[in-house]
Structure 1
């Protein structure tokens, strides 16, 4: 099986390295210093679940140069780069490559479908803390590394995409067993899994970025805890209005999960804000506001955060 990893940052670099470690043919789409370091010196993963070194990873800047279409493309770029990735993957999708996003957000599939076609799509989500520590090196923080994937929107995939999904499942399950690097699960309702992550991630990212603070002080102070609770409630309400069967106690589940996080934990959006990088604001907090308007759900707390961070979204 040939797997294309589009975006070799924390998520793509980590899972792509694990697949290559298990012996699968992996091609990374990357550019800049990170791509050059990978090509010249290999790709290294530092992780409490076991370090890995891929001495000679296959790295390309343009997937259109590949001689044959990969079986599956894992889309791992930041959300603001989805349009570009979708355009560049479209010719491969036309040749039979399955396109599976592992990105944040809940509406990236609309862009991928527009360019690659709905019938080419699989979908996925991951829980992991990983980032580029230096060019050619991925640092995995902690031990959490969960990968969930399935057919989008609960629809039966075409025969070709069903075969691709089963092959991807087999590859990920074998890689998880052989490397111990992550847990893998094929989901019967991937949309629900994606929204379950989103109902935590969007409030967490927005709150920590707006206040430029790790989560500990924010969840402990009465004022910001109320803000967190309202952000979660709005996000869950939007999901339910969109037809997602979130649990009746989903709000309480999210707050309980937040209470179990390390006090010093920051969102990736806060890290990007502090580094002066573009933010996934329009795809997280902004998506809550946008989808709320679409489905008639008021989202005032999310609107406040979106407005407060709008000036910084382009870096």
Structure 2
């Protein structure tokens, strides 16, 4: 098949590398520094202890240069770029070409569907962990797989192509439930860590902040239930077990969930940390989306609302990063005043 990777970074680089290794023709749309690296040195995929350089035949900053005769577009941009990307795709991509959305969070696909029409959009979720070391160089941290919505005539052929390239792929009848299940994994130990300037492991060790994380996840599951969905097992990630486990007493849950989250990203600052002061963030498609969808289905989401309000101030520059850095008590106080159940009992004077 002939693929275009629309947005080359960790996700696009990994999927593009695997497809190239499988013999497919892959073209890369990327920022100038990535294009220069791909053209000059190829795409380097590090899989400890080995390293492979994949030759790149076509890489460009201009979609019009590489869209000719393409069969599938893989959209791998940040969620906040969904609107601009959708407009470009609608303008340049032939109507018969499907767009596979690997956007983080939820609600981004609504933008794509509005611009392209439902028949052209396939929803996907990558559970494999990949890190960018520098433009043109990515490191595979933990290979898990990819989920793909099955409601498209090309879904089975695409799943077979991914599988043949070494990407373990599972088809889902409910693409929405799949995306929301992936959302749960993105949210754990993320925005609270970014607010405090902590790693996820530090959040998991603090009883009060861990409680906030669990309450945010519980609200997310309740919103899912409002739509008639339940968390699904994803490739390499048993999210289906998280749904019922989240409603156990918090002290019972902390040892197990703490180990899982800490093992996955414990020593690193969260992905959202880099959004502070930048004026845009994927948090609006994560915790922010939970708040918005909670309104739609009549499910209260006070924890996500408080976390969103605080982080929005950090992203937009209205709040100094020092305000909440290493101050879990202040975060818990704001949570208690915002109506988060149980927050006050973790913040009593000693």
TM-score, with normalisation over the residues of structure 2?
0.78
Offset at residue 274 of structure 1 (A)? 6.6
Counterpart mapping for 1:256-275 below 5 A: 256-261=256-261, 262=263, 263-270=266-273, 272-273=274-275
**Counterpart residue number, 2:162:** 172
Match of 1:286 among 285, 288, 309: 288
What's the secondary structure of 1:171's corresponding residue? helix
Offset at residue 36 of structure 1 (A)? 1.3
What's the secondary structure of 1:77's corresponding residue? coil
Offset at residue 302 of structure 1 (A)? 0.9
**Counterpart residue number, 1:195:** 180
- What stretches of structure 1 of length at least 5 have no aligned partner? 177-181
In structure 2, distance between residues paired with 1:251 and 1:258: 16
**Counterpart residue number, 2:315:** 313
What's the secondary structure of 2:143's corresponding residue? strand
Give the direction of change, closer, same or farther, for the CA distance of 1:314–1:26 in structure 2 (3 Å limit). Answer: farther
What's the secondary structure of 1:145's corresponding residue? coil
What's the secondary structure of 1:132's corresponding residue? strand
Are the counterparts in 2 of residues 69 and 97 from structure 1 also a CA contact under 8 Å? no
**1:38-58 deviation per Cα after TM superposition (whole angstroms, max 9, x unaligned):** 112211111238532122341
Offset at residue 208 of structure 1 (A)? 1.6
In structure 2, distance between residues paired with 1:67 and 1:73: 9
Aligned length: 299
Offset at residue 204 of structure 1 (A)? 2.9
In structure 2, distance between residues paired with 1:49 and 1:106: 35
Offset at residue 192 of structure 1 (A)? 2.0
Are the counterparts in 2 of residues 16 and 26 from structure 1 also a CA contact under 8 Å? yes
Give the direction of change, closer, same or farther, for the CA distance of 1:24–1:275 in structure 2 (3 Å limit). Answer: farther
What's the secondary structure of 2:23's corresponding residue? coil
Counterpart mapping for 1:289-300 below 5 A: 289-300=291-302
Give the direction of change, closer, same or farther, for the CA distance of 1:249–1:36 in structure 2 (3 Å limit). Answer: closer
Matched, 1:88 2:88: yes
Are the counterparts in 1 of residues 3 and 72 from structure 2 also a CA contact under 8 Å? yes
**Counterpart residue number, 2:345:** none
**Counterpart residue number, 2:55:** 55
**Counterpart residue number, 1:179:** none
| Segment drifting more, 56-65 vs 31-40 | 56-65
What's the secondary structure of 1:51's corresponding residue? strand
Match of 1:250 among 243, 253, 258: 243
Matched, 1:220 2:205: yes
In structure 2, distance between residues paired with 1:201 and 1:269: 10
In structure 2, distance between residues paired with 1:277 and 1:137: 27
**Counterpart residue number, 2:5:** 5
Are the counterparts in 2 of residues 101 and 122 from structure 1 also a CA contact under 8 Å? yes
| Segment drifting more, 227-236 vs 42-51 | 42-51
Counterpart mapping for 1:79-118 below 5 A: 79-91=79-91, 93-118=93-118
Offset at residue 82 of structure 1 (A)? 0.7
Give the direction of change, closer, same or farther, for the CA distance of 1:50–1:108 in structure 2 (3 Å limit). Answer: farther
Offset at residue 128 of structure 1 (A)? 2.5
In structure 2, distance between residues paired with 1:135 and 1:291: 36
TM-score, with normalisation over the residues of structure 1?
0.86
Match of 1:302 among 301, 304, 326: 304
CA root-mean-square deviation? 2.4
Are the counterparts in 1 of residues 72 and 100 from structure 2 also a CA contact under 8 Å? yes
In structure 1, distance between residues paired with 2:138 and 2:176: 28
Give the direction of change, closer, same or farther, for the CA distance of 1:285–1:217 in structure 2 (3 Å limit). Answer: same
Are the counterparts in 2 of residues 17 and 52 from structure 1 also a CA contact under 8 Å? no
Are the counterparts in 1 of residues 214 and 246 from structure 2 also a CA contact under 8 Å? no
